[in-house]
Every structure is written in C-alpha cells, then in structure tokens.
Amino acid sequence: MHYDTHRECARGRHCRSATITPEGHPAPAPTSRTFCDSCAADITHALHQLPEQYEGLGHLLREKNRHTTAEKVSTSRPEPPSPLDLEVDRLMVNMGDLLASWEERVRAVAGLDPAPTDVSWGQRPTMIRRTCGVLARFVPTLIGLPPEPMRRVLTIEDLGKLPENVLGVVRPEYVDAYPELSGADAGREILWLHRRAEVVTGQTVKTVTLDGVPCPVCGLMMLTRRAGDDAVWCAGCRTATAIEEYTEWTSRLVQESQGTA
C-alpha cells in the first residue's frame, strides 16, 4: 500500500509539529495521515476533556441564572438574556450537535449500532460523555473520514464563508447548510470546540517552562510542557518530543555534564 508522506498536517499553520521556514512562516509537519501525530494526540486530548468542559459550561449557566434570580427585582417585562448566556447556550448546543454528527459517521464506518437520537436536555452530559468516548476510541477512523455532506446550522453572517455550490436553506435567523466535511474538518471542529470552551469558561492550561534544557532538535532553551500532555514542545523550532524521548535526552545531558565535571 502506498502512503503519501508529503501531505501537510490538516491543522495548517497551527500544527503542533510545524517548523519555521527561512522566511519565518510556520510550515505544517509532513504526515502520511490527515494530521501529524502531535495534532492527532491533541484531538484525542480534547475529546477526553470535552465532557468536563460541557459540564463546566452548564455550571456557568446555572450559576449565572441563580445569581440573576437572587437579585431579580419585580418588573412588568422579563430581562433579555445577557450576551454571556447566549454564548454559553450556543456553544453547548454546537458541542452536542457537532460531536453527535461525527459519532454517527464513525459508528457507521466502524460497524457499531447507531446511537440514540432522542436525548433530552437533562441527558445531554451523558450523551456528550458517550460520544466523546466513542470518538476517542476511533480517532484514526474519525480523522480518516472522506468528504460527505453534513448538516451545519450557521448564522446569516457565516453564509458568505461557504463555497457557492453548498446546498442549504436560508431561514429568517439562521442557515441550514450541508457542506461536504471530511476527517480534516472533524479534527479542526473538535479542536475549536475545546479551545472555545476554554475561553468561555475562563480555563487556562498550565504550561511549565523547562528551564536549562536545550531542545534536542534545534538546541534552543525554549522547551515547554502543557499540563496533561505526553510530550514537550519547543517554541523555537515548534518540534514536539515524546516525554520518553525527553527523559532519555535529559539523562544523557546529565551524564555528559558529570563526565566533564
């Protein structure tokens, strides 16, 4: 079987293993699959975290409503929802819809039984956890999916971003569109959901700077490691090094320093 080793990682300029060209531009890592190993690991990591993020969004919405109700003054007309309420609610709906649509396709390819479709709002956290569990188990299948029309609900403003040949229905407040989406789109959507949930809930990923250790590739002292990652990352050459390789590298550096002491 022939593998195309010259394909660029579908994450583009945001590729975790991207290198910097002589002109100073990030070049996505070459890969035989849709995403390089580092970005595929990021997708798996995002799928493991999304259920907790979904529950965090629900907690944020409940706390906002509880706080508003406690301070509510009797009035003749109800207060309109705040922009935060709308943002959180929209993100929770998008998360459920997008993940469920990818689960449906993965289940069909993997020969699994279809997932339940009639899920009440109260059962959505359980549905998100099940969906992410299935997708995390079949990440290679997910990111390898061929293009196929999939329903996406877009705002009127997003209409201009779609290719001209995309089928859909323009409704008064939104657009029912059916663009052709592949595994590359699946990975990018999952990473976007994860990042967006971090921003909305105010979560930050703790990053540790590994002072005093040069990058095994470029030699720069710019290595960092994000909490939960199984690799370290160089901010200079943008190379990801597996934690096992990093441990061997630091052990070698210690032995060399002791040998010259």
Instruction: Give the tens place of pLDDT for each residue, 10-24.
Output: 999 889 888 888 887
Closest CA to 132 of 209, 53, 78, 200: 53
Closest CA to 240 of 230, 248, 231, 228: 231
Report the pLDDT value the prediction gives residue 30, as an integer from 0 to 100.
92
Phi and psi at residue 131, to the nearest 5°: -60, -45
Report the pLDDT value the prediction gives residue 254, as an integer from 0 to 100.
85
**Count of Cβ atoms closer than 10 Å to residue 96 Cβ:** 18
By the 10 Å C-beta count (0-12 exposed, 13-18 middle, 19+ buried), 116 is classed as exposed
CA distance 184 to 73: 49
CB of 22 closer than 8 Å to CB of 2? no
> What tokens does 233 get?
């990352």
Every domain of the chain and the residues it spans: 1-71+80-145+183-204, 148-181, 206-261
By the 10 Å C-beta count (0-12 exposed, 13-18 middle, 19+ buried), 128 is classed as buried
163 contacts: CB under 8 Å, gap ≥ 6: 179
Residue with tokens 């995390």: 136
Listed in sequence order, the DSSP H helices in 71-150 are 83-110, 124-137, 139-143
Report the pLDDT value the prediction gives residue 69, as an integer from 0 to 100.
46
Residues in the chain, pLDDT under 70: 1-5, 64-84, 156-164, 168, 172-173, 203-207, 227-228, 236, 238, 259-261
Report the pLDDT value the prediction gives residue 74, as an integer from 0 to 100.
45
Instruction: Tell me which amino acid residue 129 is.
Output: R
Q: Is the dihedral of CA 104, 107, 108, 109 positive or negative?
A: positive
CB of 238 closer than 8 Å to CB of 21? no
Report the pLDDT value the prediction gives residue 73, as an integer from 0 to 100.
46
Report the pLDDT value the prediction gives residue 113, as an integer from 0 to 100.
94
Phi and psi at residue 246, to the nearest 5°: -65, -40
| pLDDT tens, position by position, 211-249 | 788 888 888 887 888 766 778 888 767 678 888 888 898
Q: Is the dihedral of CA 119, 122, 128, 133 positive or negative?
A: negative
